Amino acid sequence: MAFSFQVQATSGRARACLIETPHGPVETPIFMPVGTAGAVKGLTPRDLGEVGARIVLANTYHLMLRPGDRLLAELGGLHGFTGWSGPFLTDSGGYQVFSLSSLRRITEEGAFFRSHLDGTAHTLSPERSIEIQTNLGADMVMAMDECPPFPAPHAAVDAATARTTRWARRSQAAHRRRDQALFGIVQGGVFLDLRERSARELLALDFPGYAVGGLSVGEPKQDMHRVLEHLDPILPQDRPRYLMGVGTPEDLLEGVARGIDMFDCVLPTRNARNGQLFTSRGKLSIRNARYKADSRPPDPDCPCYTCRTVSRAYLRHLHQAGEITAASLMTLHNLAFYLDTLRRVRQSILLGQFEEFRKEMLRALAVSAAEGL
């Protein structure tokens, strides 16, 4: 089945959409669990299905280094290799390369870097990024971009934004698989003139989808909101919009309110491994001694396996004992919470009640954070 996109309902700027992919439909707004090396840490593909995941993100940089994209192609791509039958999205690998500032050098050709695993030298160009993603076989793939740091002067962000457009053209020219939807990535930092220029240059290339990169890199939240508000009327209504690397439950609500359809972030899985749970009553740190004899479920309002099965006391015991079961149980809950939150967001959009839902959930989270658990 070819890639297609349909807006099914709106409520203010919020959108409820349907994305059809070769590996199944994705209803939006959607959160994509991050499976950096082809797996969401601590969970099996069965767990992901049971928790309500519909699409998983995998990382081009890490998979090209280990086990290698050509081996993955021989073994059936990500789907054949991992056993996950739903859609995959892969990033371009550029962000990981650029974040390794002491190990890389960027030119117009691409990024030259040394592996963080063994120090071997590699080149990641737009063409090579597309080749890797072709071998990985994801349903949605990203054009290579340059993500400038924050803060950075206007001139430096301007140069990175212009290079992102040039690399987008090269990515598009190298892209061959019709069963993969190639997204362009809007850059420009917190500068609205650069964001608008980047978006309009990418629109001229007519990508099937558009991502917004370079946010949640240290800028104030109000700057992220300002950028998204500026881009909302510019980005086409008939294409999916993906906000990369964001974020907290509050970030998801604010992103949807500004027209975003797709999100990914390591926060729910990484924080779970560090003992922090996201709940309808605020964040809960399971390491806190107050939970040592607490027989309540982690979130009394959550129907996930973890909350149906174990107590806060047991989770704290497992975490303090260094048992890997703790990470699995808490990751299950955090992803269930994120996915259920966006499921309810979607329902509120279909009912034309998103703004009321957003305000009530933000109020509940703020009260919970103030009062504690």
Domain-ending residue, one of 265, 286, 310: 265
Whether 31 contacts 264, CB under 8 Å: yes
pLDDT given at position 310: 98
Domain that holds residue 236: 28-265
Count of domains for the chain: 2
65 and 115 in one domain? Answer: yes
pLDDT of residue 98: 83
**Residues catalogued as catalytic:** 91, 264
Q: How many CA atoms lie within 13 A of 323 on its CB side?
A: 13
- What does the pLDDT read at residue 155? 98
The torsion of the CA quartet 134, 123, 247, 189, rounded to 10 degrees, works out to: -120
Is 194 within a domain? yes
pLDDT of residue 326: 98
Q: Are 101 and 182 found together in one domain?
A: yes
Tokens of 235: 């980005």
Residues 180 and 302 reside in one and the same domain? no
The edge-to-edge listing of strands for the beta sheet with 111-114 is 104-106, 111-114, 121-124
Question: Same domain for 128 and 185?
Answer: yes
Burial 209-242 (b: 16+ CB within 10 A, else e): bbbbbbbbbebeeebbbbbbebbeeebeeebbbb
User: In terms of domains, do 186 and 54 share one?
Assistant: yes
Q: The domain that contains 169 carries what CATH number? A: 3.20.20.105
Output the pLDDT for position 32: 98
The pLDDT score that the predictor gives to residue 99 is 83
Please state, in angstroms and rounded to a whole number, the distance separating the CA atoms of residues 117 and 122.
12
Query: Does residue 127 lie in a domain region?
Result: yes
Q: pTM here?
A: 0.97
Residue 19 lies in a domain: no
Burial 78-89 (b: 16+ CB within 10 A, else e): bbebbebebbbb
Please indicate, yes or no, whether residues 182 and 284 belong to a single structural domain of this protein: no
Within-domain flag for 6: no
Asked whether the beta carbons of 58 and 138 are under 8 A apart, the reply is: yes
* pLDDT tens-digit series, residues 246-299: 999 999 999 999 999 999 999 999 999 999 999 998 999 999 999 999 999 999
- Do 147 and 289 lie in one domain? The reply is no
pLDDT at position 373? 59
Low-confidence ranges of the chain (pLDDT < 50): none
Q: Do residues 16 and 10 lie in contact, with contact meaning Cβ atoms separated by under 8 Å?
A: yes
Cβ partners under 8 Å of residue 148, min gap 6: 156, 157, 160, 161, 187, 189, 214
Q: Is residue 5 part of a domain?
A: no
Same domain, 250 and 295: no
What are the structure tokens assigned to 112, written together?
């030259």
* Cα gap 128→136, rounded to integer Å: 12
Is residue 263 within 8 A of residue 30, CB to CB? The reply is: yes
